[in-house]
Amino acid sequence: MLAVAEKVQMLHDEPTMKRASGPTSDVDRLSALPDGLLHTIMSFLPARQNVQTSLLSRRWRRLWRSAPRIEIDERDFGISVSTSSSTLEERWPRFENFATNMLLFHDNTSSLGEFRLRCRLHNWCHVDRWIRRGIEYCPSVLQIQILNYGLGVKLPPLVGSSSHHLKRLCLWNLIFDGRFADFLCSSCPFLEDMDLQSCDFCGIRPQGIISPMLNKLEMSHCSNKTGYPLVIMAPRLTNLCLTYGCYLAGISLCKMDSLVKAEIYIDENKTLSQKTQRELLGSLLNVTSLKLDGFEADAMMNENPDEFPTFSNMQTLDLSNCFLNEYELDYKLEALRSFIENAPCLEKLILQYCMFMSFSDSEWEIERKSMTLHPEDRYIYRCQNLKLIEVIYDHDHDHQLIELVWSLGISLPDASIKLNKIERWV
């Protein structure tokens, strides 16, 4: 706090300042600043230090109560994932007392700018009460991060009066009932950015994300237990990042005409059918940048040109951990050809840890001693705008990388090929 105050003081000090004699000679220029500027300064401080500013002077005594940002974070009290049970039992009561009193005495006469909560479910009743209180402040940014993975808390009802200012919504480990979809559709007219991590859609009714103004959506390892497909309908969505979780009935992406950038990750522990993977691809027709992680060759094989999607605007394609099934390299390259020939504007192709499984040298016995390549057997890809292929790898075994690069060079003679070795973290 003192460091911030000193910087602001220096900005407003005159080159020479006349000082009167006596105990009140020093000018408190920081306290003379308007509330709005002081609140901006306080927004850089943890919540605990914000409250401590009330001890500075009478001017600061109630200033924290009208701050437009409330952030309650267990880390301010030395609580983390590695905290032992005994230490947690000692520190949690102080954190609990602080959070409860801060929310109790904060001024709620006007809408809050941001409400951020980050903690575990050590005491469910208090955490639920904090969430409800934060929602009542009608914030424009609502961030609730519950850190107990696999142990979610049910999101309290969100009514229209508490969401008409909402622009960003970030929720971790929350459980949604059937009212959540209705809430997004009817009560969040200005919602632009949503981040859902490890959240569960439950109930007996179909659920989804239907938002007319949503611009950015990130969903990671969420699940849908309703028995119906999870419908995502956001006509103004430009950025989508989806890490596939447990969607037994699938995901339906509708009205994605404005989508520019998309990233789809399939966890290595999840198995998606060829049909499901292709349906996801068919929903991303207008993207200019596409990243796919974990997709298989079958999903990209163009066996029926009339049914395969065309990506008319795609300029960058990033394939990571794709084509790792047991097929021969020729089949995988044919699938790649089928896909990129339906992207006529493609300029850059990134193959990151693709085409063959990689092992450390100590775990792999190299058997192949020689290889013969036949250029006359290669097919020239029709990708006239493709200028750069970047191949990112960590190990090359059995000359597989040589064979891959040679095949790409023969099939795409107009494109430059760049090799980039990057060791993956184990």
Question: Tokens at residue 274, please?
Answer: 């060829």
Question: pTM, whole model, 2 decimals?
Answer: 0.83
Distances (CA, A) of 353 to 186, 385, 390, 407, 419: 43, 24, 11, 16, 11
Q: Report pLDDT for 150.
A: 67
What is the tally of structural domains in the chain?
Answer: 1
404, part of any domain? yes
Binning the chain into helix, strand and coil, the percentages to the nearest 5 are 30, 20, 50
Residues present in the chain in total: 426
Q: Report pLDDT for 380.
A: 76
139, part of any domain? no
Supply the DSSP string of 282-332, one letter for each residue.
HT-TT-SEEEEES--HHHH--S-TTTS---TT--EEEEES-S-SSS-HHHH
Domain of residue 302, CATH code = 3.80.10
Q: Report pLDDT for 61.
A: 77
Find where tokens 């402040």 sit.
Answer: 137
Contact 115, 70 (CB under 8 A): yes
Q: Report pLDDT for 215.
A: 96
CA dihedral 63, 134, 152, 205 (to 10 degrees): -160
Give every residue of the chain whose pLDDT is below 50, as ranges: 1-25, 362, 364, 426
Domain ranges, residue 313: 281-358+375-426
303, part of any domain? yes
Find where tokens 């460091």 sit.
Answer: 3
Q: Report pLDDT for 398.
A: 67
Q: Report pLDDT for 23.
A: 46
Exposure string for 196-227, b = 16+ CB within 10 A, e = fewer: bbbbbbbbeebbbbbbeebbbbbbbbbbbbbe
Q: Report pLDDT for 329.
A: 86
390, part of any domain? yes
φ and ψ at residue 216, rounded to 5 degrees: -135, 130
Supply the DSSP string of 126-176, one letter for each residue.
HHHHHHHHHHHT--SEEEEEE--TT--EEPPP--GGGTTT--EEEEESEEE
126, part of any domain? no
383, part of any domain? yes
385, part of any domain? yes
Contact 210, 180 (CB under 8 A): no
346, part of any domain? yes
Supply the DSSP string of 254-279, one letter for each residue.
E--TT--EEEEEE-TT----HHHHHH
Q: Report pLDDT for 371.
A: 58
